Structure formats: structure tokens, C-alpha cells
Structure 1
């Protein structure tokens, strides 16, 4: 009979498992970022199953399966950490398919499956005999120690991507991108708690520190993290539905050579019906008028907050409209306007004395690297070649 503490704890575990199912359902209904969302769904599956396993372990009876525990129980430790790194990687970098070299992250899992099948066959296809096999316990220990190494490794790798992204966000003004980083930092640090507590429980075997208490502690972190992830999916679906891919080399999506003018967007938008669309159209019109009349994008420090204050709309409303109606982040929208401004300046004969760097600064770009990336992606030539072609130099 479970203790009172275990009974309350089992409720938390069942809650975590149910939240994982909810999160997986929401993610699989979104196919704009299939590889990223699939990795997050895998993460929720593993974490959720781990919570359910603990619930079943406490209550035994019909909830607990010796066969399932024997075959895949230790494998859960090998799947705790790689999915979050791959989720972050696929979230920020575009891949047309699952990269073959990323199978290396699941190599311990593949070896585990092969070794488990070997134990099962070597035990005469008997679960009971398999559990008494001389190497059965060693398999569990090896999985624990591998997970101890994986934890800090994937934490560092994930943190590295997030830091690089944060540096780029100093030049980018996208609320959606910022929210991606905020919640991912929370999840990554919750991972740190899991591998720290789990590592201690794996290596410490002393009388005054019960490993079972540590197992409960890191499973509590897992359950709370699952709830947080599911809450984020529900509250901010645009983070998971943003269809804009990012190139691993350039981190900027290629767009068509001729960027449509800002004025040409409204007729496309107004072809649909509904109050929300009317509101979206109104916001787009306010943004366009402000951009056309004030040209605030020429200020390199112009931010989403500045735009929200200027047109009396919320940051969330602006971000949502830009993503839904124009399929652009605020960052891309503003920088495309800056590219249009730079093209006008580059084609002006009276501005031949301006350097390319001067044109970039005058157009509102804070750094040359961002200017060159955008210009090359949109125009397919460098700014210098564009100037030469349009001025017949």
C-alpha cells in the first residue's frame, strides 16, 4: 500500500502523463515545423511515459507491466536529453529531411535495443529468465551512466545554440523569436535539474540519502516541465506554427527576387471574410501608413515596442498579424523595407559618394553582416553589383 506522500506524488505523475498526451496531440496537429515539433513530441512521449511508469510503479496492479519495464524501462534514460537539443536545432535551422548524422544522437538507443534482444534470445525468450540474466543489471547501470554524461553534454550544446541565437536577436526585433528563447531557457535549465538529481541518484548509494527520494524529485521536475511545455503550446501556438524556415548557413529565409510592395498586401488580405480579418487589415493598414510616412525602419534601434506605441496596438497583435497575414516576422518585415530603401539609395546617381557601408547605415541596418545576407537573399547579387548594374558603371 503506497504511503500518503506516494499517493499524492502519483497524482502529480498521472497529471504529467496526461499533459504529455495533450501536448503531443497539439504538436502533431501542427505540420509547419515537422522535424522540430516531432522532436518535442518525442520529448513529451518519453517524459510522459516516465511519469506514467512511476505512477504504475507506485500502484502496481493492472497499471504496472513487468514486460514493458523489462524491455524499455532503462531505455527511457537514454531518451531524456537528446530530443531537446534536436528540437532547438530543428527549430532554428531548416532541414528538408532528418539528417543522417543526427542518428548518432540515438546510437545508444539503437545499441540498447540490439543488446536487449540479445538478452531476450539468450534467456530462451523468457522474461523471468531475462531478469535474472547476469548482464541484465549491468544494462541498467550502463544506461544510467550514459545518461549522466548525456545530460551535461546536451545541456551545453543546447545552451550554445540559444546563446548564439540571443546574440543574433540583438540585431533582430521579433517578439516571437524572443519568446522562443525565454521558454527554451526555462526548459533547458529544468533539464539541468533532472540530470543533476538523476546523476546523484545513480552514483550515490549511502544510507542517509535514499535514491528513491531523488527519483521522486527529478520526476517531479519532469512533470512540472511537461505542464509548462503544454501550457506554452496552448498559450502561444504561433511559436510552434511559425512557417518561416531558417537556413543553417545564413539563418535567413530566401525570399523572391522581387519583394512585393507594402501597398500590394492589403488586397490579398481583404479577400477573406470575418471580423478578425477586418481587424488584421486595419492593423496592416496602420503599419503601412506609418512606415510610408515616417520611415521609422531607418532607425537601427527601431523595435516592436516602438511600433506598438506608434500605432496604439499591442505587441502580440502586431506579431500575430505579421506572421498570419504576411507570413513574416517583425524582424524580416522591417529588414525587407530597409532593403527597399537601400536599393533606392544604391540606384541614385547623386549618392555615388556614399560607400556601401554608408548606404546600409542610412537604410537602418545596424550591422553589415545582416545587410549583406538580406540583400544577397532577396536580390541574388551583392549591393556593389546591384549598384553597378543600375547605374551602368
Structure 2
């Protein structure tokens, strides 16, 4: 099989995989992250359209340029913003569009005007060339702006979830971050190669890289669990805590110093006697229920009284417990993974990462 034939096969795989993934995300068989999966499904479907020209050309055995159709051009332009909407709903399932959010459609509106103008101007006129430059510039601006905004939103999310969860693996949306970085790198390579070399010789490798990215996307997006796995009222409570920490409202006094000290002592006693941190599903809500205090007050006590977020506070206890197990010769029958589970972690990766961060050693090095 020649490189050209192999490239055609890869193109068909890319398009078919994206369409299938789009249908799966829109159908949402696991019934989680409903709004996020809806928008992500639309994004994937729009993403597949970028290979539609090649697929139809292969089927009809003649060159077809779907991307030059007015509606297709406009819809493809929306791809980055649709991706950003999915990120918004992954990081905040309670997000609602407001009148002010019309700002998201400023660039699409300008792009639509440019498309309409292009169809009223002669293709060989200087004004058409000027419109073409604006056309390409808007595509690049839209792509880079919303890709960057999506990346920053995910990074903020990864910090916010540490306010209420002690095990962030599986809800930190790392896979979306990796997608953004990988596609960004692939596109930069493609643009540079286009400027310096013959672009057709790189198509096979670019398509092969995209196929790998697509299967990565499919695997992690389909296994993504609910980010806020609680009832609507509790979810709103957690999200409001996130917003407070984001705006530093947490510095405002929520309770008196005496009340803070009382809850702080009560919390330390609970952690020492009942060891709730050994529960891998422990979160801010469960701990607040054990203390019979509100989640807002508990978050304030941990943030202000201990100068830590919930993630740091709980995992320091887990690491101290793990260190005892690693030193205990009677526990030698336990593997590193076994000690991780015993200490409240739900994976070896998160255990090793947290252990290394707090002790500057891996669990194996500490044991030796």
C-alpha cells in the first residue's frame, strides 16, 4: 500500500471516527455532564467537516470543495467557540447564557459580513484580496482566542476543584488541556512546513497525528465522569465556594475568630480520631456533614485557619498515614498501590504525584 493510499484510508478513519464520536456524545449514554457533552458533540461534528472535502473526493473520484460553500464556511468558523462552550459547561454545569454573552457572537457576525461582501465583489479586484486577508485573519484570531480562553478556563477549574475535592483525578479535565496543546503544536508545525516546504508531503503525518489525537479524545471524553457528582442544591453550593475563592472573597470574615478556632479544633480532633481522610470519596460536603457545619464555614476555616485549600489539607493527612504504613514492617505485604488505597487515594498516579510533591521523594524511595 502506497503512502497516498494509506493517507486516504487514514482520512476515512478520521472522518468516520469523528462522526461516530459526535453521535455518542450527543446521545450521552452515561447521562453525565449533559450540557457539556451536547456542546462537545456539536464541536466534534463540526471538526469532522474539515475532512469532508477529502472524503467526498474519494467517494466521487473527483475534486469536491465543500469548504467553499457559504454555510459550511460560516459553520466551520464557529468550531472554536463551540469547543469553548463545552469547556464552560464542563467546568460549570450551572452556567447560563445571559444577554451580555452576545459578545461571543461579535467575531462570527463580522465574519458573516465578510462572507457576504466577498460574494458581491469581483474575485480579481484589490478589494476582494483585502477581504480575503481579513477572512483569514478572523479565522486565526477566532481560533487562537477561544483556544487560549478554553485553556485558561480549564487551568482555573483545576485550581477551583481543590477547594472541595481531595481526589481531583478524573474531574480535572486534563485531557481537554492536552487536546488544546497537541492541536496547537500540530497546527504550528503544519503552518511552518507550509511556508518552508511542500505541504502535500506532510499531509500523511499530520493526518496520522490527528488520528491519534482523535482516539485519545474519544477514550477520555467517553470515560469522563460527572464533574460535580452531587444534587443541584449542593452543586450550587460548591460552585459558589469556587467563585468566592476565585474572587478572594474568602478573605472576608464569615465567622468570628472564636468560632473559627472552635471549628478548627473540632476538625483536627475529627481527623485524628475518626480518620475520614481514609475515605477516597471524601469531599467538602461529606466532611462538613460530619462536623455539622456549613460547607462555606468549613471552607473558610481550612483556607483561613490552616492557610490551605481542601485538597492540600486532606492529602497531607493521607501522606502522613501512608508514611506510617511504609515504615511499618508488618505492612510489607502491601504493595505501593495497596498502601495508596489504604491511605485514601484512588490511584497510584495521584498517590505518587502527591507524595513526591509533599516529601520530595517517591513512595519507593521513602521506603528504602
TM-score range (shorter-chain normalised) is 0.5 to 0.7
User: Distance between the aligned counterparts of 2:69 and 2:32, measured in 1?
Assistant: 37
Matched, 1:296 2:275: yes
Taking a change above 3 Å as real, the CA distance of residues 199 and 68 of structure 1, as seen in their structure-2 partners, is closer
Taking a change above 3 Å as real, the CA distance of residues 229 and 143 of structure 1, as seen in their structure-2 partners, is farther
Report the counterpart of residue 27 of structure 1 in structure 2: 25
Matched, 1:238 2:225: yes
Deviations 1:118-153 (A, max 9, x none): 444x37xxxxxx877876665554343333334443
Taking a change above 3 Å as real, the CA distance of residues 112 and 168 of structure 1, as seen in their structure-2 partners, is closer
Taking a change above 3 Å as real, the CA distance of residues 187 and 68 of structure 1, as seen in their structure-2 partners, is closer
Report the counterpart of residue 336 of structure 2 in structure 1: none
- Superposition CA RMSD, Å: 4.4
Q: What SS class does the counterpart of residue 279 from structure 2 fall into?
A: helix
Offset at residue 104 of structure 1 (A)? 3.3
Aligned length: 277
Report the counterpart of residue 48 of structure 1 in structure 2: 48
Is the Cα–Cα contact under 8 Å of residues 23 and 233 in structure 1 kept in the other structure? no
User: Distance between the aligned counterparts of 2:272 and 2:309, measured in 1?
Assistant: 28
User: Distance between the aligned counterparts of 2:26 and 2:221, measured in 1?
Assistant: 11
> How do 1:308-327 residues align onto structure 2 when only pairs under 5 Å count?
none
Name the structure, 1 or 2, with higher relative contact order (CA <8 Å, separation 6+).
Answer: 1
> How do 1:259-274 residues align onto structure 2 when only pairs under 5 Å count?
none
Show structure 1 runs of 5+ residues with no match. Answer: 124-129, 253-290, 309-329, 346-355, 372-393
Deviations 1:312-357 (A, max 9, x none): xxxxxxxxxxxxxxxxxx35xx322322343379xxxxxxxxxx88
Is the Cα–Cα contact under 8 Å of residues 165 and 284 in structure 2 kept in the other structure? no
Matched, 1:224 2:223: no
Report the counterpart of residue 110 of structure 1 in structure 2: 109
Show structure 2 runs of 5+ residues with no match. Answer: 244-269, 312-368
Is the Cα–Cα contact under 8 Å of residues 342 and 360 in structure 1 kept in the other structure? no
Matched, 1:342 2:300: no
Tell me the TM-score normalised to structure 2 length.
0.58
Offset at residue 78 of structure 1 (A)? 2.9
Offset at residue 62 of structure 1 (A)? 5.9
Offset at residue 50 of structure 1 (A)? 0.9
Taking a change above 3 Å as real, the CA distance of residues 240 and 15 of structure 1, as seen in their structure-2 partners, is farther
Structure 2 residue corresponding to 1:163, chosen from 155, 167, 191: 155
Q: What SS class does the counterpart of residue 112 from structure 2 fall into?
A: helix
User: Distance between the aligned counterparts of 2:182 and 2:300, measured in 1?
Assistant: 45
Deviations 1:129-184 (A, max 9, x none): x8778766655543433333344433432232222222234444465654542212
Matched, 1:307 2:279: yes
Report the counterpart of residue 10 of structure 2 in structure 1: 12
User: Distance between the aligned counterparts of 1:172 and 1:133, measured in 2?
Assistant: 60
User: Distance between the aligned counterparts of 1:26 and 1:243, measured in 2?
Assistant: 24
Is the Cα–Cα contact under 8 Å of residues 197 and 217 in structure 1 kept in the other structure? no
User: Distance between the aligned counterparts of 2:299 and 2:17, measured in 1?
Assistant: 53
User: Distance between the aligned counterparts of 2:62 and 2:167, measured in 1?
Assistant: 44
Matched, 1:250 2:233: no
